[in-house]
Amino acid sequence: MRKHAGSVPTSIVIRRSPSRVELVVRNERGKHAVAAANGGGVGLVGMRERMRVYGGTHDAGEDEEGFAVRASLPVKDSAT
């Protein structure tokens, strides 16, 4: 996120339940974001595709606190 938002306050929240791991990265980017000059990667599209490969979900966008990237992945039962 720093690549696109610069040096702004950022929070990271990781939650685990018996069936899922959830990650939320949020910053105060808001409407002041600019595209990175060296943005040669696949960014959010690539993240979304990788989450789907592993049965997870992904979304990103502005919310009431800034800009957030959210991902959720299923947890495999290690006993199986």
pLDDT at 38: 54
Please list the pLDDT of the chain residue by residue as tens digits (80 residues): 455 556 778 899 999 999 999 999 988 864 445 444 455 567 888 888 999 999 999 999 888 888 889 999 999 876 65
Looking at residue 78, what is its pLDDT?
A: 61
pTM over 0.85: no
DSSP string computed for 7-76: S--EEEEEEE-SSEEEEEEEES-GGG----TT--S-HHHHHHHHHHHTT-EEEEEEETTEEEEEEEEEPP
The domains located in the chain, with CATH, are 2-74 (3.30.565.10)
